[in-house]
Amino acid sequence: MKRLSWINLGGVLALCALCVGQWQQNRALNLELNQQTTERLAVEARASEYTRRIAGLEADLAQLKSQWAERGGRMESTQSRLAESEQKCRRLALECDQLQASVAEWSTAVKERDARLTAANGSIQQLAADLRVAIQRFNNLATNHNAAVKELNEFRTRATSPAPPRTSLQLNQ
């Protein structure tokens, strides 16, 4: 009996050792499970955050694509307006050059006209002076003609009328 007690004590001790070993193993597994659960929850939180960020980035990408397309349309419109403006600018520059050439021609023509007007003005002034001289001569001629006509009329009147006797004073004149 003593032996059986000792065997029983050995079995109880072995069983206690097995329980302590099993308890330590279960405790380590439980701690690892808790740690993995914590890590899993953190990974799930990060995954949901990444999912939320991906959804936001996809929305941003869609908005960016929309803006890109809109800006592309605006750029094409701006490029066509720029091309039209450049064409208009070239046309206006050509017209400006033509107008400058025309102004230069007109300026030359005006200078020539002014020179001719100056020459004509000199001729007109000379003709006016000549006309004044001719008028003066004509007036003198008319005055002389009127005096001659008056003398002729007086002479005719004297010739047709009976002459009064002349005095010596009248004869001297």
Domains of the chain: total: 1
Share of the chain above pLDDT 70, in %: 93
The reported pTM is: 0.39
In a domain, 138, yes or no: no
Print the domain residue range for 19.
2-115
77, amino acid identity:
S
Q: Encoding tokens for residue 30? A: 């439980």
Confidence bin at 60 (pLDDT 50/70/90) = very high
65 domain-assigned? yes
Q: Considering the chain, what is the average pLDDT of its residues? A: 89
Q: Establish if 77 belongs to a structural domain.
A: yes
Residue 70, in any domain of the structure: yes
Domain for residue 102, yes or no? yes
Of 1-10, 21-30, 36-45, 52-61, the one with minimum mean pLDDT is: 1-10
List pLDDT tens digits, range 22-51. Answer: 999 999 999 999 999 999 999 999 999 999
Query: How sure is the predictor about 163, in pLDDT bands with cuts at 50, 70 and 90?
Result: low
In the structure encoding, which two tokens stand for residue 104, read together? 């230069």
Residues 117, 123, 127, 132: is their CA dihedral positive or negative? positive
CB-count burial class (<10 Å; 0-12, 13-18, 19+) for 63: exposed
